[in-house]
């Protein structure tokens, strides 16, 4: 699953797959993509949103699509915060869509702690 988004006038290709999880964990030691996504789901006030998490997730999804992308610090320095936030919606959608499996497989494959994330993904 891939899509192209505009961030501050630049076209950026995004792709989500199992590789996205590996890229995220490898680059952001001690962080896990699905845990970070499920933490964001719990946020009720946008002012409490950890903006760096949005940037990390967006970068990992962009890196999955284009392995030549520079490090996250180099890549994000030319983007506005609002550009990152807007594009991250598409990144979330792609990650959520990458979980689309038959209901029986979902029930057995998804751990109890991930059900809330899946519900969020299906409703957005």
φ, ψ at 30 (rounded to 5°): 85, -5
Q: Give mean pLDDT in consecutive 10-residue pieces for the chain, a chain of 124 residues.
A: 93 96 94 86 71 92 97 95 90 85 47 53 60
CA-to-CA separations, 34 to 4, 82, 115, in angstroms, rounded = 22, 23, 11
Whether the full predicted model's pTM is greater than 0.85, yes or no, is no
pLDDT of residue 71: 95
Among 97, 73, 83, 86, which Cα is nearest to 20's?
97
63: its two tokens: 């890196």
pLDDT of residue 65: 97
pLDDT of residue 5: 97
pLDDT of residue 38: 81
């Amino acid at each position: 699953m891939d899509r192209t988004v505009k961030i501050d006038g630049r076209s950026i290709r995004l792709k989500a797959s199992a590789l996205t999880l590996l890229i995220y964990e490898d680059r952001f030691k001690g962080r896990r993509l699905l845990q970070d996504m499920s933490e964001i789901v719990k946020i009720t006030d946008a002012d409490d949103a950890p903006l760096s998490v949005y940037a990390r997730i967006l970068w990992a999804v962009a890196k999955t699509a284009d392995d030549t992308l520079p490090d996250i610090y180099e890549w994000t320095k030319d983007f506005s915060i609002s550009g990152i936030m807007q594009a991250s919606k598409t990144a979330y959608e792609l990650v959520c869509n990458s979980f689309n499996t038959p209901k029986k497989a979902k029930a057995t494959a998804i751990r109890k702690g991930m059900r809330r994330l899946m519900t969020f993904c299906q409703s957005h």
